[in-house]
Structure 1
Amino acid sequence: MFVRAVYATGDPALLSTAVRALNTEGHDLLEERPGYRGAGVFVDRELGKLLTVSWWESEEARHNSDEVMRERRPALLQPFAGTTAVENYEAAVFHPGHRPVTGGGLRVTRLEFVPADADLAVETFHAGVLPRLELLPGFAGTALFLDRERGRGMTGVLFTDPRSLAASRSGQATVRREGAAKAHVTVIGLEEFEVLHADVRAD
């Protein structure tokens, strides 16, 4: 599958306005697009960060949805969004695990790598990282997103509740350090979010 990630920052006091718009009009817009397979909405209420991820059955379906979503996105995110960034990825690994309840946690790790090492990153995640993530208490699923051309990626690990998210920090730090070394990737960012919505139709 393929994903579009939208990352917005703004005034924390206005975040709820954008969330309401995404959960109503934004949800309806996505559901109308051919090839749509699900979405996630994640927030950092304290700092004023919003991450949305939409899933598509093909690169073509994602591309065809771009025109409508690009036109409507500013209105959906205002007056909250002071900055907005849109990135497209291949979902190289998708392991749904247990579906997290609303209020669960997401840890995002942003990566850079030499494009020629993209397959190594996928192999390392499958063989070395994923089995160890599954052992973390409260683990609820994970995915590895890659932009093979630009040598950029993102991993997301879901946890069932904030306590599990916090308790996993040391354990995942070890997995992250060892996995990054084996996969020849550089970690360039680490963030945590509250899960407001996460639903992907894998089949």
Structure 2
Amino acid sequence: MFVRTVYVTGDPAKAEAAIRVLNNEGRELLEERPGYRGADVFVDRELGKLLAVSWWGAEAARRNSDQVMRERRGPMLEPFAGTVAVENYEAAVFHSVQPPRAGGGMRFTRVEFAPADTDLFVETFRSSAIPRLEAVPGFARCSLFVDRQRGRGMVGSLYVDHASMAASRAGQAAARSADAAKAQVTVVGLEEFEVVHADVRPG
């Protein structure tokens, strides 16, 4: 699968209005597009951050949706959006053990790596990170996004509630350090969000 991520910052007091639009008008618009496989919406209410992820069955389907989404994105996110960053990735790994829940937690890590090491990173994530995550109480789902040309990626792990995510921090910090060294990646960002909506249909 392939994904488009939209990372938005703005006034925390106006975040709820943006969430409502994304969960209604935004979702309806996406569902009209061929090849659409679902969407996630995550929020940091305190700082005023939104992360929206749309999932596509093929790169062409994602690309074909770019123009209409680009035209509609600004009006949908007003007046919340102060900054908007859009990125495209290959979803190299999608692994789910139970459905995420609204109000749950999502931790995502930004990484950089040599493009030639992309497959090493993906294999390390499959063989090392996933088994560790499956052992964490409250773990729901994880994914790995990669940009093979630029050598950039995002790792997302979802938990059924915030308490489960918080309890996993120490153990995942140690695992993240070990896996980063093994996969030859550099962690350049680490954030946590609340799950607003998470619905992906891999098939």
Alignment of 1:38-117 (within 5 A): 38-117=38-117
Name the residue aligned to 2:165: 165
Report the identity percentage.
68
Q: Paired residue for 2:34?
A: 34
- Write the deviation string for residues 14-40 of structure 1: whole angstroms up to 9, x where unpaired: 001111111111011000000000000
Deviation at 1:153, TM superposition (A): 0.1
Aligned to 1:199: 199
SS for the counterpart of 1:126 is helix
Shift of 1:97: 1.7
Q: 2:100, 2:4 → 1: CA distance? A: 21
Counterpart in 2 of 1:24?
24
Counterpart secondary structure, 1:46:
coil
| 2:136 corresponds to | 136
Aligned residues: 203
4+ aligned runs moved over 4 Å, structure 1: none
| 1:175 to partner: Cα distance | 1.1
CA distance in 1 between counterparts of 2:196 and 2:117 reads 33
Give yes or no for the alignment of 1:13 onto 2:29. Answer: no
Q: State the partner residue of 2:151.
A: 151
Normalising to structure 1: TM-score of the pair?
0.99
Paired with 1:47 and 1:20, the residues of 2 have a C-alpha distance of: 18
Whole-Å separation in 2 of the counterparts to 1:176 and 1:27: 33
Quote how far apart the aligned CAs of 1:96 are: 1.6
- 1:130: how far off? 0.8
TM-score by length of 2: 0.99
Report the secondary structure of 1:99's partner residue: coil
Q: Deviations over 1:130-157 (max 9, x none)?
A: 1011111110010000001000000000
SS at match of 1:202: coil
Residue of structure 1 in register with 2:118 after alignment: 118
Structure 2 segments unaligned to the other structure (5+ residues): none
Determine the C-alpha separation between the residues in 1 that align with 2:84 and 2:176: 27
Q: For 1:157, what is the secondary structure of its paired residue?
A: strand
Distance in 2 (alpha carbons) for counterparts of 1:159 and 1:194: 10
By how many angstroms is 1:51 displaced?
0.1
Q: Distance in 2 between matches of 1:96 and 1:4?
A: 19
Q: Secondary structure in 2 aligned to 1:18?
A: helix
